[in-house]
Amino acid sequence: MNDGLGYFWIPTNNGLFQLSIQDLLNYAKLKTVDRGELFYAYHSKDEGFNTNEFNGSCEPCGLNLQNGNISLPSLNGFVWFRPEQITAYGPNGNIILDKVEVNQKVWSTGTDTLHFALEPQNIRFYFSTAYQKNGYNLNLSYALVKQNHEPGVNDWILINNDESDVRFSSLSSGKYTLIVRKLNGFGVNNYSYKKIFLVVPLLWYETWWALASIVIGLFAGVYFYNKFRLRQFVKENLNLENTIALRTRELNTTMNTLEDSKNELSKQVHVLSRLLTSMTHDIQSPLNFISITSSGIPRMIKDGQFAQVHEIGEMISDSSNRMSILLRDLLNYIKINVYGNRLQFEELGIYHLVEEKQKMFKNLLKQNEILFINEISRDVKVNCDLQMVSIMIHNLIDNAAKFTKKGVIRISANRYENDRLEIVVSNTALGIPPEIIEMINTPVDEKINNNPDMPVRLAGLGLIIVKEVAMLIGVKLKVTQTNVTSFHLLFE
């Protein structure tokens, strides 16, 4: 029954309940995790009603009379009342901790922080609050959480109104917060809280000195074990050294004969190993991207998402084109290194070569919102192999475009004395690891080429090809980082 004063009156076989309409509306707007409990004011014979047994299932369940009364059917005739004359007194008193018992011994409650002995047992907290109306309207619950933690929705446990105590069979070591809350009356999440801080001492094996002793003991055990094993290794190594010395003298003669063949094979294996190390990232990863992306095209066509299909098609085309050029450059590079193909030096126009590469990357540049600036003059030329120069510029632009977001890629040329030409490819993205900079800037020789610790996986296939190609055609390669990342190609 809506009394026109903002409340619903709900007759039941166990009494009459009053509920705020605004509370219901506010409750419905909250997320599930933010919802607490709704307050129902219980009215019974104690407040002057003739009965507690209303016939709530009848039709209609009640009437609003013209004189302002509400008429409700019950098992003992009609019950009439004026809603504005009935006051719902909410339990808005403070929550008080009366006493604490530990192992049936009463503790003092003069403070909100309680310090217990080790492993306390049978702990009971007695709480009370001032409220003289029907006990049904008194709604208490508690939660025990670690200190500085907030209770979740499922942490709250109702307290029996007949006993009003909180019990724990035991408490483990640590610091806790016992929170008791009480529903004060109408209003969503209208709670009052009482916090009790509990401190239980750490057990001996949980203290810092016990943990430190265990750590020291472990280190000591490892130290003495390693020392013992080291002595055994030294003794075994002496025996092995004598055996190896004999075998080495026998093998030296054979090794000298095979040295020339080994050097040539080592160079070829080195080239192939460095390339294969980076193929997973530079070729297999784009192929996986194409496979995953293209698998969704039938579904998009079925759903009519033609704009997305068009965009994915351009992305697949760009990725395929870049991989095709990368593989072509890789094959040309392998032919020269492995099969000894000759280089063909000729006069090259750098400006038109850069413009051609820009067109290849236009979709990637647009996707990453990159401004591409070609500052090389049309008359700048260099005497070099076209394929090798094209490989270097292509891979440097590709590397810059992949790591630059909303930035600038700038290609410029500097002419020095003795007709030396420097081409600079710079981009605004920073963050090349120091080991990659060291690898690129280190002069190439046989000792460095055969170094297995070179960070080829981090450098990527493109930068490795650029470094190797620069060595083949006699170009000095250097990378610098200031506010931009710049690759310098110096043609002698």
Quote the pLDDT of residue 449: 45
* pLDDT at residue 351 tops 90: yes
- pLDDT bracket for residue 329 (50, 70, 90): low
Q: Average pLDDT for residues 335-349, to the nearest whole number? A: 73
Q: Which of 11-20, 242-251, 337-346 has the lowest mean pLDDT?
A: 337-346
Nearest one of 93, 64, 97 to 81, comparing CA atoms: 64
Quote the pLDDT of residue 197: 92
Quote the pLDDT of residue 341: 58
If phi > 0 it is left, if psi is from -120 to 50 it is alpha, else beta; for residue 460 that is left
**Residue type for 241, please?**
E
Quote the pLDDT of residue 368: 87
Using CA atoms, how far residue 299 sits from 137, 302, 305, 319, 398, in Å, is 58, 5, 9, 21, 31
Alpha helix (H) residue ranges in 5-135: 21-29
Host H or E run for residue 74: strand 70-74
* pLDDT at residue 478 tops 90: yes
Residues 379, 350 contacting (CB under 8 angstroms): no
**Residue type for 85, please?**
Q
Burial label, 43 (beta-carbon count in 10 A; 0-12, 13-18, 19+): buried
Rounded distance between C-alpha atoms, residue 142 and residue 127, angstroms: 11
Rounded distance between C-alpha atoms, residue 485 and residue 432, angstroms: 8
- Fold (CATH) for 342-491: Heat Shock Protein 90 (3.30.565)
Q: Which residues contact 45 (CB under 8 A, 6 or more apart)?
A: 51, 52
39-42 contacts, C-beta under 8 A, 24 or more apart = 39/90, 39/137, 39/139, 39/183, 39/184, 39/185, 39/186, 39/187, 39/190, 40/10, 41/17, 41/88, 41/90, 41/137, 41/185, 41/186, 42/15, 42/16, 42/17, 42/134, 42/136, 42/137
Q: What are phi and psi of 44, to 5 degrees?
A: -135, -170
- pLDDT bracket for residue 195 (50, 70, 90): very high
The conformation of residue 284, written as its DSSP 8-state character, comes to I
Residues 441, 478 contacting (CB under 8 angstroms): yes
Nearest one of 56, 49, 52, 83 to 67, comparing CA atoms: 83
Q: Which of 17-26, 58-67, 352-361, 454-463 has the lowest mean pLDDT?
A: 454-463
Strand spans (E) along 255-360:
345-349
Quote the pLDDT of residue 8: 93
Residues 488, 440 contacting (CB under 8 angstroms): no
Quote the pLDDT of residue 162: 74
Rounded distance between C-alpha atoms, residue 490 and residue 418, angstroms: 12
Q: Which residues contact 57 (CB under 8 A, 6 or more apart)?
A: none
Count of residues making up the chain: 492
Count of other CB atoms within 10 angstroms of residue 333: 21
% of the chain exceeding 90 in pLDDT: 18
Count of other CB atoms within 10 angstroms of residue 327: 14
Nearest one of 72, 66, 88 to 6, comparing CA atoms: 88
Residues 45, 52 contacting (CB under 8 angstroms): yes
Coil, strand or helix: which one is 293? helix
* pLDDT at residue 451 tops 50: no
Nearest one of 76, 176, 87 to 123, comparing CA atoms: 176
Domain boundaries, the chain: 7-85, 95-206, 342-491
Nearest one of 74, 2, 12 to 42, comparing CA atoms: 12
Position with higher pLDDT, 343 vs 239: 239
Count of other CB atoms within 10 angstroms of residue 464: 24
Quote the pLDDT of residue 333: 66
Question: What pLDDT digit, counting tens, does each position of 358-407 carry?
Answer: 888 887 888 889 999 999 999 999 988 888 888 889 889 988 888 889 99
Residues 80, 120 contacting (CB under 8 angstroms): no
Q: Is there a cis peptide before residue 434, judged by omega within 30 degrees of 0?
A: no
Quote the pLDDT of residue 425: 94
Q: Average pLDDT for residues 59-75, to the nearest whole number? A: 87
Q: Average pLDDT for residues 287-308, to the nearest whole number? A: 78
Rounded distance between C-alpha atoms, residue 137 and residue 90, angstroms: 7
Quote the pLDDT of residue 453: 45
If phi > 0 it is left, if psi is from -120 to 50 it is alpha, else beta; for residue 77 that is left
- pLDDT bracket for residue 262 (50, 70, 90): confident
Quote the pLDDT of residue 263: 66
The conformation of residue 154, written as its DSSP 8-state character, comes to G
Instruction: Identify the residue whose tokens are 């020339």.
Output: 260
Pick the CATH number of 95-206 from 2.160.10.10, 2.60.40.10, 2.40.50.140, 3.40.190.10: 2.60.40.10
Quote the pLDDT of residue 452: 45
- Mean pLDDT in the chain? 82
